[in-house]
Amino acid sequence: MSLRTDLFQQLFGLRRNPFHHGAISMPGVDTAFYPDLYPGIAQQFAVAFLGAGKPPPIAFLWSLGTGEDARGFGKSTYLHWFAAEVNRDQGQRALALAGSPASGEVVLALNATFHTLGSVSLSHLLFDAVRSLVAGPQMPLAPLMGGGPTDRGALYAAGAKLITDTRQPWSCTLLHWLCHYTLNKVESLLADSVLFREWHKARLGRELFRTAVAFLRVLGVTRLVVLVDQVEDFVNWATPAYKRRRDLARLAELCAADAVVRGHVTFVLTMHPDSAHVAARHWPVEELGQISPSRQNCRVVVLREPSLTGVVGMVKTYLNYERVVCGGDQLRPFTEGAVHAVYAMCGGRPGYCIPLFSMLLETAADLRVPWIDGAAVYSWCRSDEPLWRPR
């Protein structure tokens, strides 16, 4: 046990620092999470991303502001959280929240990002979505495969027929892997960097994604939600205009004209004003609708500045998750004044608050200070080179 861990237990009654970086990016994986930071967020996501009828081809998770002011609202964390919520019961609770009849519906959610192996493109994004089927701690395909058909040959035949009837290109290799190999084996194959690069040289992202969607459809999945993070890595002025124009057009074609994908897949894109301004130059409005964060756009959820009450609830939840003995002051070792000070400094944004709370706990432990009040927050953070940095 490290000295700092000993100090956390002796001074604060905590097993470890509950505000470590994993607490931001991976809710539910040995970390606390407080979805009520944004009250009613589960229903907002369900309505916007699943809809009450035909699934929308594109939906958006917005934050407002310019530059850094649009960051730190927790978009990445909430996308991971929503994926876990959907996959927990194949979307039954989310569909109920959306007001959609769930009879016969099976929903699967995947996390994906444009930024893969140092390069950005629609092909990389679609490959990342395919890989997330079998990768990570959630492994969302596992429950479906456990109750799926035992005749893997019949499963392959059904998937192949679904795609070949559309006369669109596909990957017989990927379909064979998904039908005949274990998920761990498929994960290791898709993690092969040499194979990955070879497939991307040929820009096979759409073929691979189409194949995966066909496989999911014959497995019984009626809706696939692809939760896309880091859209700004692609939709920015550094990406050549021809690439933005080409890939946004291909995304529109995939959503609106692809016989396998159309009507079965929703892409949820993170968005903020800077990215929207760049995307608008080439955005296919007719196929994908408006990007606007307007309240009239039913396919949009906007994360705004959380309330102070919400941040206090978040802090209590994180601290109690690592508390050795529950009870007493749930904010210990922070005073209400300390939480108010952090809230004011960070504008309530969890992506900025959490690293600051982490730094304050570590500083207090190093100084052997059992309580952190507002004066300590301002004192420790007052310098030209602050001890904390938003992540």
Six-digit token string for 144: 């479906």
Asked if 356 contacts 22 with a C-beta cutoff of 8 angstroms, the reply is: no
Asked if 141 contacts 181 with a C-beta cutoff of 8 angstroms, the reply is: no
For 48-64, how does the pLDDT look when each residue is reduced to its tens digit (9 = 90+)? Answer: 999 877 778 999 999 98
Q: Quick one: average pLDDT of 123-133?
A: 89
In this predicted structure, which of 46-50, 177-181, 189-193, 282-286 has the lowest mean pLDDT?
189-193
67 CB neighbour count, 10 Å cutoff: 9
How far does Cα 298 stand from its chain's mean position?
20
β 58-63/265-271 pair status: parallel
pTM: 0.89
Q: Quick one: average pLDDT of 2-28?
A: 77
pLDDT(301) > 60: yes
Q: Quick one: average pLDDT of 254-283?
A: 92
pLDDT(136) > 80: no
Six-digit token string for 106: 């099976």
For 82-106, how does the pLDDT look when each residue is reduced to its tens digit (9 = 90+)? Answer: 999 999 999 999 999 988 776 788 9
Q: Quick one: average pLDDT of 138-146?
A: 74
Q: Quick one: average pLDDT of 320-326?
A: 89
Secondary structure of the chain as H, E, C letters: CCHHHHHHHHHHCECCCCCCCHHHHCCCCCCCCCHHHCCCHHHHHHHHHHCCCCCCCEEEEEECCCHHHHCCCCHHHHHHHHHHHHHHCCCHHHHHHHCCCCCCCCEEEEEEECEECCEECHHHHHHHHHHHCCCCCCCCCHHHHHCCCCCHHHHHHHHHHHHHCCCCCCCHHHHHHHHHCCHHHHHHHHCCHHHHHHHHHCCCHHHHHHHHHHHHHHHCCCEEEEEEECHHHCCCCCCCHHHHHHHHHHHHHHHHCCCCCCCCEEEEEEECHHHHHHHCCCCCHHHHCCCCCCCCCCCEEEECCCCHHHHHHHHHHHHHHCECCCCCCCCCCECHHHHHHHHHHHCCCHHHHHHHHHHHHHHHHHHCCCCECHHHHHHHCCCCCCCCCCC
370 CB neighbour count, 10 Å cutoff: 13
Identify residue 250 by its one-letter amino acid code.
R
Confidence of residue 28 (pLDDT cuts 50, 70, 90): low
pLDDT(195) > 50: yes
Rounded distance between C-alpha atoms, residue 71 and residue 80, angstroms: 17
CA distances from 366 to 4, 5, 11, 142 (A): 8, 11, 11, 44
pLDDT at 388: 47
Identify residue 225 by its one-letter amino acid code.
V
